[in-house]
Amino acid sequence: MLISVTHRADGTRPARIMIIDDHEISREACRALLRTEGMDVVSDVAAGEQAIAAAAALRPDVAIVDVSPAASAGFDMVQRLRALPDPPAVVLTSSADPAEFGARLDGHSFVAKACLCAQAISNSAGQAAGHRRR
């Protein structure tokens, strides 16, 4: 788990991002890309209790959650994140084609892994913020 604090020259702070993906190489690539583009990646963890504990402690603005059409773990993680007292906006990602998920993506913000970049996350986080539980 990584923790960082970044401020821009103008004193503002970029969105605090948490990456939840069971593949370490995917987390590393996403973290490197987003940091290169000026995002503040405060944590990257595999799914599970460690992810929920990190989200509760670090209170990221956005959680990027890897999902799979064949498994429910990522979608279960989204529900647990949204149940936190101060939940992050959640953006789902996958290397699978969105069509493979059917209706499971309805109501969720989604960015394909091939399209992950700071702009896509910023745009999707705004949409996902509407799904935050207050």
Q: What is the pLDDT of residue 117?
A: 93
Task: Please give the Cα distance from 88 to 29 (Å, whole number).
Answer: 21
Q: In whole angstroms, give the CA distance from residue 114 to residue 2.
A: 23
Instruction: Give the whole-angstrom CA distance, residue 134 versus residue 131.
Output: 9
Q: Going from the N-terminus, what domains does the chain have, and what CATH number goes with each?
A: 16-129 (3.40.50.2300)
What is the average pLDDT score of the chain?
88
pLDDT, mean of residues 84-108 = 93
User: Among 51, 53, 50, which residue's Cα sits nearest to residue 19?
Assistant: 51
pTM: 0.86
Residue 132 has a pLDDT of 47
Confidence of residue 81 (pLDDT cuts 50, 70, 90): very high
